[in-house]
Amino acid sequence: PQPVYLSDYQPPNYQVTHTELTFDLDPTATRVKARLMIERHSEASDDAPLVLNGEHLTLLKLALDGSPLTEADYRLNDETLRIEDVPAAFILESEVEIAPSSNTALEGLYQSNGMYCTQCEAEGFRRITYYPDRPDVMATFKVTVIGNATSEPVLLANGNPVAQGALENGRHFVTWEDPHPKPCYLFALVAGDLHKVEDRFTTMSGRQVALQLWVEQENLDKTEHAMASLKRAMVWDEQTYGREYDLDLFMIVAVNDFNMGAMENKGLNIFNSAAVLTHSNTATDAAFQNVEGIVAHEYFHNWSGNRVTCRDWFQLSLKEGFTVFRDQCFSADTNSAPVKRIQDVSFFRTAQFAEDAGPTAHPIRPDHFIEITNFYTLTIYEKGAEVVRMLRNLLGWEDFRRGSDLYFERFDGQAVTIEDFVGCMAEVSGADLEQFMRWYSQAGTPEIDARGEYDYAHAEYHLTLRQRTPATPGQPDKLPLHIPVRMGLVGTKSGKDLPLTMNGETLGKDAVIHLREYEQTFIFTDVAEAPVPSLLRDFSAPVKLHFPYSREDLAFLLTHDSDGFNRWDAGQRLAMLALDDLIAAHRNGVEKVMDSRVVEAFRTLLTGQVSDKAVLAEMLTLPSEAYIAEQQPIIDVDAIHAAREFVRQSLAMALRDEFIAIYNDNVSDEPYAPTPEQIAQRSLKNVALAYLMSIEDEQGLALCEAQFAADHNMTDVRHALTLLVHSDRDDLASPALKAFGQKWAHDPLVMDQWFTIQVTRPQLDVLERVEYLMQHPAFSIKNPNKVRALVGAFAQNRVNFHRLDGKGYALLADVVIELNRLNPEIAARLITPLTRWQRFDEERQQLMREQLERIKREPLSSNVFEVVEKALA
Ligand code: B3K
Ligand code: ZN
C-alpha cells in the first residue's frame, strides 16, 4: 500500500452537483442505482478523465447521458472506475450490486442484528457506489430506499421524507431529500424493525424541529437521557455559538455493531448503542455522562463538520478538534467544570502523551498516511481540542466567538482547511498566529523545564522556562512553539495569589505568559513574599511541565492554590514523588515505607477542606498505573503495581475511620438521577469504598456486599461487583458474578461490563479467563463492543497482559490476525499496546516484537500493515 501526501492535494476535476440513489435492499444482493449530475471544474482541462472510487462493488450497468457505456468506454480495477472522455456537464447512471450481510468491516452498507445501516466516514461510500469519494465534492442528495415491509418497516435516510408507498411482493419504499449539499461521507441509510421515541424542539428563530430516537423495541426504555441531552445540546449551541439547527427533522439511530462511538450523518446520526442507550439499572454514571457528551458532539458537528467541512482528510482535526472542544465546554457547563477538566486532562496525559511518545506519533495535521482510518486518534481529536482551547485562551472568548462566527459565515457550504479556521481567528483579533500554526505540523509532546528563584533583596521572582520537543518518527528536529502558560505566584506567608507585575505592567493575580523562544526568563517585580509558583493553570497548554517542587511546596499548593485544577495536580505530583520512591524500593528489594506527608495531605482533604464532592473524589484518586508508567523511563509493570497498591493500602489503613465516615455520609436511597450532585456523592462514596476494600477490611467487605445486594443503580452495583471480583475473596465474588451474569444475560451492553470486570482484575489468572470468555455465548468477535470489552480491556490489564511468558501478547496477536480479515479498522486499533514495546524491559521488548513480526507475516489489510510497519521501523 502506498501513502497519500498532503502536498499532492489537487482540487477535483469534476463536481457532483446532485446525487440520486435508489437502494433495493437484500442481505446478499442489494442493488444500488446512482444518477449523478456531474460538471467539470472551470479550471480543469477538457481532456481530464473522470475517476470514481469504488471497492467491493459488482458493476451491472453504466450509462452517460442515457447512452449505455461498454467495457471499451471505461477502465475498471479494484479501486477505481475511469472514463477518459466525458463532456463538460453530463449525467452518469450506474447500477451495482453489494452484499451487506457479509460486510464484517462495518464500513459502507452492512447489517447489524438484521437491520441495515451505513458508515461512510472516511472512505466507506466507495463500498456503496462508484463516486468521487472525497470530502471536497459536495452534492444535494435524493435517496429512495426499498425494503421488505415486514422486516424493514422503517426506511430512513438524510433530510426530509418526501414520498412513500407500497410496492408489489410485500415491498415498500420511502424517498428522502437532503437540501444541504454534503460530501458523501455524511450520507446515511437505515432500514429495519425500529421503534421511535419522539420529541420536539423550537429553535431560536421559532422553527419547529421533530426529534426522533430510533431503537429496537426492547431498548425503548433507554432513550430518555439521550433525548434530554440532545435538547440541552441544541439550546447550548444556540446560546454559546449562535448555531441553529437547519432541517425539520433530526434523527438518532442506535445500532449494536459499530466501529466507533457515533457518526454525524446529516440529519441522521447513527450511534453505537453503547453511546446512546442508558437506564439507571444498566448504565453507570460515567456512561450517562459519556452519552451526553457524544450526543452533543455529533449534534455540534452539524455546523463544525457538516455545514463547513474538511477539504481533505489531512484536515480532519479541523472538524474533530473544534467539535471535541465544543463538547468538552458543553459538558463542563452542564456538569462540574473542574471535574470535567480534571478527567479530560487526566485521560489526555495518560493516553495522548503515550501516543506522542510511541512509533505512531503524528502531528494534528499529518502530512501523509496510508490508511486514513488509522488517523482517528487521540492526537487528531484530543490534542486538536487542546489547540483550539489555546486559541480561545489566547484570544479571549469574545474574539474567539467572533472568529467562529466569521468562519461559519464565510465558509458555509464549503470544504476548507485549518488555515481557513485559524485565519478567521487571526483576522478578527489581529493576533499573530504564525508561530502558533506549528502546533498543527509538529508532532510530540513539548516539555518545559521551569526554574524559579526569589530574590529577597529586590523583591523579585525570576522564572526561567525552557522548552524542547523530543524527536518523533520523521521529525528529528523541532522548532520552538508558542506556548501560553497560565500562572500565579502563591505567597507562602499569606497563602494567597500575589499581584503579578512584569516590566512595570500589572497583570493581575493570574496571568498568561507567552513562551515563544527555546528559553525565556520572566521577571516579576514587587513580589512581597517568597512564593510557590502555580504553573500551567487549568492545563493551559498540552505540555509536560517540570518544576523542582518540594513535597512541602506541593502540600502547600494542594490546600492553597486558587486554581482547582492545579490543586488537584499538586496532589497528583505529591503522590508521584512517593510512588517514585516506592517503585525504586521495590526494584531494589528494599522495604517500602509510606511517606507520611502524603498521608497527612490526604487526611487534610478528608477532614473537610474541599467542598465540591466530585473534585474531592478526584483528589483522593491516585494516578493510574498507566499514568505512572508514562512517567517512567522504562516501564516496570510489577513495581508500578506493587508501589501503587502499597500506597492505597497504607492510606486505607491510616485513614480507615475517615473513609468509613465518608462512606456513611454519602449513602443515599434517593431514586437514581444522573445529576451532578448525585454523581458527586456516589463517586466520593465509591472512592472511599475502594480504599476500604484494598485492605479487605471486614467493615468494608460488609458495606461492599450490602451495596451490591441493594441493587439500587448500576453505578453502585458495578462498583461493588468490581471491588469484590478484584479482591482475593473469591468466595464472595463468584456467586455475585454468577448472579449478575444470569440476571443480565439478555442485555449485551451489561454483558460487556460483566466481561470487563472479570478481565481487569489484578490476580494472575486473567489470561485463562479471557480464553474461556471468548467462548461465551454473549461474546462475538464480529462485534466491536465485545472485542473492546473483553480483549481490549485485557490489554489494559498491565500485570496480566505483560506476563513474562508472553502469552498475553500472543493472545492479542491471535485476535488481531483474525480481525485483520474481518474488520481491519478494529484490528489496527487493537494492536496499539504492542506498538509501545520500546517502553518496556528487554525481555518484554523481545516478546512483543515477536508478536508484531508474526502479525507482519500475514497477508495484511492496509490498516494493520501501516501500524505494524511503523511499530517495527
Ligand atoms: N466522525 C466520526 C468518525 C467516524 C470515523 C470512523 N472510521 C465520529 C465523530 O468524531 O463524531
Ligand atoms: Zn467527531
118 within 8 A of 105, measured Cβ to Cβ: no
Tens of pLDDT, residue by residue over 555-590, are 999 999 999 999 999 999 999 999 999 999 999 999
Cα dihedral angle (388, 392, 398, 402), rounded to 10 degrees?
-30
Q: What pLDDT score was predicted for residue 605?
A: 95
Q: Average pLDDT over the chain, rounded to whole?
A: 98
Query: For residues 348 and 817, what is the distance between their CA atoms, to the nearest angstrom?
Result: 29
Q: Is 263 touching ligand 1 by the criterion CB < 6 Å? A: yes
Query: For residues 745 and 741, what is the distance between their CA atoms, to the nearest angstrom?
Result: 6
The residue whose C-alpha atom lies closest to atom 2 belonging to ligand 1 is 263
Q: What pLDDT score was predicted for residue 393?
A: 94
Which residue numbers are catalytic?
298
For residue 651, how far is its CA from the centre of ligand 1 (angstroms)?
A: 42
Q: What is the mean pLDDT of residues 417-433?
A: 98
Q: Is 309 touching ligand 1 by the criterion CB < 6 Å? A: no
Q: What pLDDT score was predicted for residue 608?
A: 79
Q: What is the mean pLDDT of residues 73-97?
A: 98
Q: Is 123 touching ligand 1 by the criterion CB < 6 Å? A: no
Q: What pLDDT score was predicted for residue 611?
A: 85
Tens of pLDDT, residue by residue over 697-732, are 999 999 999 999 999 999 999 999 999 999 999 999
Q: Is 382 touching ligand 1 by the criterion CB < 6 Å? A: no
Give the number of other Cβ atoms within 10 Å of residue 830's Cβ.
Answer: 24
Which of 46, 81, 43 has the alpha carbon at shortest distance from 61?
81
Which of 158, 175, 327 has the alpha carbon at shortest distance from 248?
158
Q: Is the pLDDT of residue 609 over 80?
A: no
Q: What pLDDT score was predicted for residue 610?
A: 80
Sign, CA torsion 223/224/225/229: positive
Q: Is the pLDDT of residue 168 over 80?
A: yes
The residue whose C-alpha atom lies closest to atom 1 belonging to ligand 1 is 263
3-state secondary structure of 216: coil
469 within 8 A of 444, measured Cβ to Cβ: yes
Cα-based angle 97, 98, 103 (whole degrees, multiple of 5): 175
Query: For residues 675 and 453, what is the distance between their CA atoms, to the nearest angstrom?
Result: 45
294 within 8 A of 261, measured Cβ to Cβ: yes
Query: For residues 129 and 62, what is the distance between their CA atoms, to the nearest angstrom?
Result: 12
For residue 268, how far is its CA from the centre of ligand 1 (angstroms)?
A: 14
Q: Is the pLDDT of residue 186 over 80?
A: yes
Q: What is the mean pLDDT of residues 297-312?
A: 99
Q: How confident is the model at residue 359 (pLDDT cuts 50, 70, 90)?
A: very high
Helix, strand, coil percent content, the chain, rounded in steps of 5: 45, 25, 30
Question: Inter-axis angle of helices 596-604 and 564-588, to 10 degrees?
Answer: 150
Q: Is the pLDDT of residue 61 over 90?
A: yes
Query: For residues 309 and 139, what is the distance between their CA atoms, to the nearest angstrom?
Result: 13
Burial bucket for residue 477 (CB in 10 Å: 0-12, 13-18, 19+):
exposed
Q: What pLDDT score was predicted for residue 147?
A: 98
Query: For residues 324 and 326, what is the distance between their CA atoms, to the nearest angstrom?
Result: 5
Which of 159, 142, 129 has the alpha carbon at shortest distance from 61?
129
Query: For residues 596 and 221, what is the distance between their CA atoms, to the nearest angstrom?
Result: 50
Residue 381 CA: which ligand 1 atom is closest?
10
Q: What is the mean pLDDT of residues 737-743?
A: 98
For residue 232, how far is its CA from the centre of ligand 2 (angstroms)?
A: 18
Residue 259 CA: which ligand 1 atom is closest?
6
Q: Is the pLDDT of residue 643 over 90?
A: yes
Q: How confident is the model at residue 37 (pLDDT cuts 50, 70, 90)?
A: very high
Structural domains for the chain: 4-284 (2.60.40.1730), 309-441 (1.10.390.10), 447-541 (2.60.40.1840), 744-873 (1.25.50.10)
Q: What pLDDT score was predicted for residue 142?
A: 99
Which of 297, 277, 280 has the alpha carbon at shortest distance from 344?
297
Q: What is the mean pLDDT of residues 387-410?
A: 98
Tens of pLDDT, residue by residue over 506-520, are 999 999 999 999 999
The residue whose C-alpha atom lies closest to atom 10 belonging to ligand 1 is 320
Q: Which residues pair with 115 in a beta bridge?
A: 112
Query: For residues 501 and 508, what is the distance between their CA atoms, to the nearest angstrom?
Result: 8
Q: Ligand nearest 319 Cα, by number?
A: 2
